[in-house]
Structure 1
Amino acid sequence: MLDITRRATVYRMVMEKHICPFGLKTKDLLERRGFMVEDYWLTTRAETDAFKAEHDVKTTPQTFIGGQRIGGYDDLRRHLGEVVKEPKATSYTPIVAVFAMTALMALAGSYAAYGTPLTMRAGEWFIAFSMCVLAILKLQDIEAFSSMFLGYDLLAQRWVRYAYAYPFCEALAGLLMAAGALNWLSIPVAMFIGLVGAISVFKAVYVDKREIKCACVGGSGSVPLGFVSLTENLMMVSMAVWMLSMHR
């Protein structure tokens, strides 16, 4: 006989023009955990609204285990002992993902160009690619980025348009450094925005002791302003100094 505690019922939206992604995740999670899943589809808006009214819930999917309502996808994850990220919780995941991917891109580029991943050019590309990817994240929503950036950048607080120019400057410097072109332009741009950024972050975090979010991965990021933010700026400065020493 099947253990009733290993039997789950899922009610989820499966409509002609919409399949609820959290319903699919719920069913997948239960099956991976060894549950026998009864999968009930809510195929119309009227059917979905009637289900919500009957069970006094505001969202779907809804999971029942052993006849007991567990709740939505996040509720199910908590019930099964999995970590559920809070919406406004701080996280270093975005910046780790960026640096890990750009490091791999740099190693791959070095291998393609020189037959080995471990070259000085790979180190240069890592910083240049990181600048480009971080610029992309900022440019996805420049209004959100500029609003967060204005919270701590000293130059932007005096000249608001700098908050809008910053991602373009970072992208330009990163692209030119990746190409090894127009060093007379890329080096001073990277040096300037890096130094201003480093001073701004240092003052906000280590002098004023403020606890705010960093705009380094865009205006919707949850990375706390601090060491990572300072590292981004110091990377640009170090890259500029390095290229200056190499191309004197």
Structure 2
Amino acid sequence: MSNTQNLYSPKFIIASTLFWVIINLVSICFLAEEDSRWFRVANSLYFLIWSCSLGVLKPKINYVLIAYLICDIALVYYEIAVFNFITFLARSLIFFLLIFIVFPKIRSVKFNFFELILGIVVIAINIYLSFELLGMVPEAYLYNSFSPAYLMLTALTILLIGLAFTYNNRFSSRRSFYFLLGTLFLALSDVNFFIAFYLEVPSFYYPDRFFHILALGLILLFGITPLEGSAYNNIEQQDLKL
């Protein structure tokens, strides 16, 4: 039982996440970027096997892990148009699933006038920046479905970040904070990958990989089901149901 608790604890997730962050950053340093992408796959597969073996996560989070793995596998062949498109779809699925998980918790939240105006302004700025970034993509990387896939992912990103902030403001718990950070790190990973790949600045692969793996670890901390009697089980009870 003690061994199960050790594998089941947030400390194990944190230690495993840091391990994979280090391994992936080292792989970028010593391998070609295309080869180092397999370490992203290894990270996602590791946590999926861990989750399925122990049953430590809610099923909805397991779906996020599967989407993560599909995304990472497709990204290995990102230069090929069909895999590029699959990467966008899988990444969008991650965001959609996270929205699906958290939305029922905040659908009854009401906003005041100032919050609505501020939210509209922030969304407008993000939409403008998204189109600016789209215009920077070299024509060699464009294909028929690229723009719709990119804009779909952008819209889901904006929506998820807004929901994550609302969720954290409502509950102010460790779980909601993990979710907020995980969401922000996912978005930061995408931005850094965009700069590294499309604007050809390879040094940005490092923060991309760092935020990508850290985001997964935070999502797992959000989704872990506490063992009865464990210290982690003291989190606010109304925030436990996924």
> TM range, normalised to the smaller chain?
0.3 to 0.5
TM-score under structure 2 normalisation? 0.37
Structure with bigger RCO (C-alpha 8 Å, 6+ apart)? 2
Q: Which has the larger radius of gyration?
A: 1
TM-score under structure 1 normalisation? 0.36
Judging by fraction of residues, say which structure has more strand: 1
